[in-house]
Amino acid sequence: MKQSNRFLKVIVFNLVATILVVGAMALYIWQNLNIDQARNLVIIGHDFYLPLLAIALTIIAVIGFGLESIYKTYIHPLKKISAEASLIYASNPSHRLKVFGSKEISTLIGTINDFADIFENLSKDITEQILLTRKETAKERNLLAAIMAELPEGVMICNKSGRILLFNSLAKKLFTHSANPKRAEHFIGLGRSIFHLIDKELIVHAIEEIEERLSNKKESLASYFVTPIYTGLLVSIETIPVLDKEKQMTGFILTFKDISDQVDKYENIDNWLLSFRQTMRFNFDQTKLFLKDLIDTPIKEKRTNDLYEKKISKNLELLEDQFKKTSLSILEASLTQLPLTKLFLSQFIINIQKQAKEQSGIKINLQNLENNHRMLADSYSFTLAFIFLLVNLSEITGKREFDLNIGNVNGEILFDIIWYDNPASQIQIENIITKKIRSLPSFGYVLKQNRSEFNIISQNYQTCSQVRITAKAELKSDFAKKKRGAVIAESRPEFYDFDLFKIDYDTNDIFNTDLKNIIFTVFDTETTGLDPIGGDEIISIAAVRIVNNRIVYQDIFEELVDPKRDIPLESYKIHGINYEMLDGKPDIGNILPLFKIYTYDTVLLGHNIAFDMKMLKVKEELTHTIFTNPVLDTLLLSAALSPVNELHDMENIAKRLGVNIIGRHTALGDAIATAEIFLKLIPILNANGIFTLKDAIEASKKTYYSRLKY
């Protein structure tokens, strides 16, 4: 029952108790009357029942009027005072009580409003002092933001669970589709997971590598890898750990560098040098043939011609050798190389053997494996390249078993892959070099990045049953080059007085998480009407996010939707959207899947959100998009906090909380207003013992409005 009916319950209880007491007394008197007294009483009741009934009804009416007057002038105003006074100290210091009641109530309201004036002035003074003390910090933060914006590399800072806490404009640009930049913003934002942007396996591998170096107390902690991203770019990524004072990892920094042009440049140079080499080889062969024809001279000049032939042949060989060296130097200079890691050869090969068996059913027979050898490579990309080669060899030869002979010669690790029967065409093997490896560049490029070579061992230059990968063995000089160390969170200069790593957004129990620590997607829809089942359609959907108890105004979703039907005049008068504005816009089947990605791993929040959710629900079958996010409604929360107030529409709630609505009846304007209202409600919710999502949902269920269906 409503809180406003409690007074009525008390009155009814007292009335029933009074009737029972009076009835009991009347019964007692009746039983003690003699026959004449009882007869006279019956006669009086019979003759004067109408006046007696009128007197009884008059008494009841007077009592009822008096009780109603007491309720309206004392009880109800006190309830409103209690509800609205909490707004002043919890959310809106500029709010003033406007409650009508008795003289005493009016005096009380005046006193409360006087205290509210004092409280508001005090709040303003405190706010001014806070703003003053933050002024210098804001300057330094703006300086940091300017520096971040001008860095030549994209930068993202994440907590340990991969939630984005900070990013600069270049990082945003790298992850933005040039063809449709508006859509790409849906995938990058504060509080979002980095794993939607970059393959999780790559980052997990980098973190594992960093943690291993931390456990071994190494100074060089940064990890590197190269990967394509969904915008079509190939980026080089450096992972740098952020450590606390105890050297425990609390997060990581990712720096991004676009190397797409470098890869294209490398491939172009490689192709050009190959073409040039073939041309030179043809000319060398023609020159040698010319020399042989020239040798047909008299016997006495034979010795001289032999000397010329040897000299010219030797010069041609030197020229060809010099060309090879120059080609390798040019390719090396144009290649983006990864800083390589020291790997234990035995562990690396056993891991290759295990993965080949588990992933592709390929058996590897190891030969000459020694435990004391170490090699240099990027563990992730080199492993993928090795498995990639084995899978392709298996497809070409039909073999599921290979011998792997391992040798260490002159500072190089030789991996000879051998198979018997079914020799492969040399051309087929050469084609493997240019194939791309899953999320990485070509097989040949990955080997070059790892400073490795690939050779085909063939006797007849047509078929082969053996290939070789040559990798670098560990040398002390290889580690003379310094790599970036960790960032110690507590070692930053004193003027950086903020910590990005306190909140863990990945709690498993979202319902028991504090409302201030939850990421919300606040959304609203504009429609052709109010009947989702009857055929009304969404024509606009917009959303904004709340992260760390702040509205992220830059991270918005806003789309117009073609409803494939007419727009009634009554609806147009409300939202101002006509069909011409929607002509050529995407339909709901294209928009809802994008919106689902935008809302991933967040709590949905809206005003009268049951209607908006019904609009999404009726489109599940058409769009194959189902929203399973937890849901909160500011209408229900307001009703739960202030049941005395009968009006819980957005305008009245905003007025009570001191929120200015800009763009009413536009999807984005209403979404932003709802977000601002919710942030104002949180302190009031906390004051009423509502702290977690579970508390808020339970409170919402108790309101009358929660029983409304759409």
Looking at the annotation, which residues are catalytic? 665
Pairing assessment for the beta strands 223-228 and 424-425 based on DSSP bridges: unpaired
Largest Cα separation within the chain, whole Å, is: 177
Which contiguous run of DSSP H or E holds residue 305? helix 302-334
In angstroms, rounded to a whole number, what is the distance separating the alpha carbons of residues 176 and 197?
Answer: 11
Reading the block at residue 606, the tokens are 């809206």
Which contiguous run of DSSP H or E holds residue 158? strand 154-159
Closest CA to 334 of 280, 281, 271: 271
User: CA 677 → CA 42, 253, 605, 684, distances in Å?
Assistant: 67, 34, 11, 11
User: CA 12 → CA 615, 626, 644, distances in Å?
Assistant: 43, 49, 20
User: CA 267 → CA 270, 420, 434, 442, 642, distances in Å?
Assistant: 5, 34, 10, 10, 69
Task: Count Cβ atoms below 10 Å from residue 89 Cβ, excluding itself.
Answer: 16
Buried b (16+ CB within 10 A) or exposed e, 294-316: eeeeeeeeeeeeeeeeeeeeeeb
**Counting beta carbons within 10 angstroms of the beta carbon of residue 694, is it exposed (0 to 12), middle (13 to 18) or buried (19 or more)?**
middle
Reading the block at residue 297, the tokens are 């001279």
In angstroms, rounded to a whole number, what is the distance separating the alpha carbons of residues 676 and 683?
Answer: 13
Q: Answer for the pair 392, 432: CB distance below 8 angstroms, yes or no.
A: yes
In angstroms, rounded to a whole number, what is the distance separating the alpha carbons of residues 544 and 556?
Answer: 5
Closest CA to 515 of 670, 250, 697, 702: 697
In angstroms, rounded to a whole number, what is the distance separating the alpha carbons of residues 231 and 558?
Answer: 21
Closest CA to 321 of 284, 358, 354, 353: 284
Q: What is the dihedral of CA 265, 267, 269, 270, to 10 degrees?
A: 160
Coil vs helix vs strand at 11: helix
> What do you get for the CA distance between the two ends of the chain, in Å?
23
DSSP single-letter state for residue 514: B
In angstroms, rounded to a whole number, what is the distance separating the alpha carbons of residues 618 and 535?
Answer: 10
In angstroms, rounded to a whole number, what is the distance separating the alpha carbons of residues 600 and 657?
Answer: 30
Q: Answer for the pair 183, 594: CB distance below 8 angstroms, yes or no.
A: yes
Closest CA to 535 of 419, 639, 615: 615
Pairing assessment for the beta strands 401-409 and 363-367 based on DSSP bridges: parallel
User: CA 496 → CA 149, 155, 374, distances in Å?
Assistant: 17, 18, 43
HEC profile of 436-467? ECCCCCEHHHHHHHCCCEEEEECCCCCEECEE
Residue 328 identity: L
Nearest 5°: phi and psi at 241? -75, 150
In angstroms, rounded to a whole number, what is the distance separating the alpha carbons of residues 335 and 579?
Answer: 54
Q: Answer for the pair 432, 443: CB distance below 8 angstroms, yes or no.
A: yes
Rg of the chain taking only CA atoms, in angstroms: 40
